Chains A and B, each alone.
Chain A
Amino acid sequence: MLKRLATAVCLLAAVAAFVATPRAQEGYPMTGTWYGDYGTGAQKKDVTFVMQWDGSKASGTMNPGPGSQPITSVTMDIIPGKAGGRSLNNPDAEAAVPPVFNVKIVVGDLTLEGKMMNPVGGNRSIVGTYTKGAEKGPFQIKHL
């Protein structure tokens, strides 16, 4: 009995460790699993997205499992950055401006619009505003 319990605990620990380990993903920034919430206070809802990229279109699922919903659309609007000339030898020159990734995710009547933070980092996130009918409020999701 004790042996079985120990085995179960070890298995659970292994699964938890796998889930908790950040998995780097350096390709299309939307690809992968995102977790976060939208709304405020008692109205706050957890949300998970799993997305893929086929080279021309991103697609995926919201809240995989029972009650999952297909993502209606995912778009990424990129504002190009600017090269800068600042360096150790030229500290007064203009600094480089990184591109901005504006993201819009639509799932049925839920729309999330936000900006991707640290878009090429393993810890990237999207922060912005959600709308659902007359509801409106903040949302944030993190790449796992």
Chain B
Amino acid sequence: MKRQSIQNALAIGIGAALTVAMATVDIAGQQPAAQGQGQAPAPAAQGQGQGQGRAAGGGRGGGNNQGRGGRGAPQGPPAAATPRWPDGKPILGSVPGKPVDGWGAGVTTLPQGMLDQVPFQPWARAAYDIRQIDQFEPHTRCKASGVSRQFSTPYGTEFVEVPDLQRMYILDNGGPNSYRIIYLDGRQFPEKIEPTNYGYSIGHWDGDTLVVETRGLNEKFWLDTRGTPHTKQLKFTERFTRLNMETLEYQATIDDPGAYTRPWTTTKFQLRRRAGEEPFEYICQQYNQGPELMLGTQESIDNSKFYVP
């Protein structure tokens, strides 16, 4: 019943957002350049070569997964300015009245470029090291994986802002095909939060940056494809800055006394816009090549069997 309510609310919210937004918003190009943000170079061309594969949710994904297209492509003209809502806040999702956009994967491993500076507790570093060998990430078994792990799936994410409801949804197009809610209504965290895979996310604007703090995360997922560990004590803060039409900057601060000796902040990652790409239906459970890992002993994959019957 609760799930039904959430689904209904989501559907209503998206519909309301699109209706209101189409009627009121100024689209990109009608707004001045982003305040305080220089024009970043245009992103790489949005290649279309990557098929909609069968593997579950991205797995280990390679070194610097930038979504479809990505690195190495020739640079084009400067990107358009950051699109904005009528109140001047940046639009992080699709621009109303324009084709729906998504964001490509941009985070491979949170310690990228700073592994030796990450203040792991000894057990956490050992767990991280083992996970470089052990590939059985929960996400590859179709487990919903919150916060930064949402930005590692090869099929990207879609941000759905619903100003009327003062919240935003981040839709996973991959993995278990689920979503995270970010409350933007100024609420406080509940005193007790039952830990879940996506946790409880509250956001606020700091200039042109959306700052989102998430608490109440359980320990059933990895923070990224490479196995950065955490515990239930984690407070995860994300900073989303749309540098221009094509680029979303992402940075996270990990405050988890259960796994680290002090809080630490990642480098800045960049997510690239997947222009005009509607999310498609991706059912992880259906396409998973290792269904025996979804439950049970999680010891091995039977490679002779490709599909769940």
**Interface residues, chain A, CB within 8 Å of chain B?**
21-29, 31, 53-56, 76, 78, 80-81, 83, 96, 98-99, 101, 118-123
Contacts and interface: CB of A to CB of B under 8 A. Distances in A.
B130 A98 contact: yes
Contacts, number: 83
Interface of B: 122-123, 125-127, 129-134, 136, 138, 143, 219-222, 227, 229-233, 257-259, 295-299
A31 to B, nearest CB: 7
Nearest to B293: A122
A53 B130 contact: no
A76 to B, nearest CB: 6
A84 to B, nearest CB: 8
A22 B297 CA distance: 8
B222 A26 contact: yes
B258 A53 contact: yes
Given A21-B295, A22-B295, A121-B298, A28 B231 contact: yes
A133 B224 CA distance: 46
A98 B298 contact: no
Interface of A is mostly: loop
Given A81-B130, A101-B126, A26 B299 contact: no
Contact of A96 (B126, B133, B222): B133
Given A78-B126, A96-B132, A123 B229 contact: no
A83 B232 CA distance: 28
A120 B231 contact: no
A99 B130 contact: yes
Contact of B122 (A25, A31, A78, A121): A78
A81 B126 contact: yes
A123 B299 contact: yes
Contacts of A53: 231, 258
Contacts of A118: 134, 299
Given A80-B129, A99-B129, A120-B134, A24 B143 contact: yes
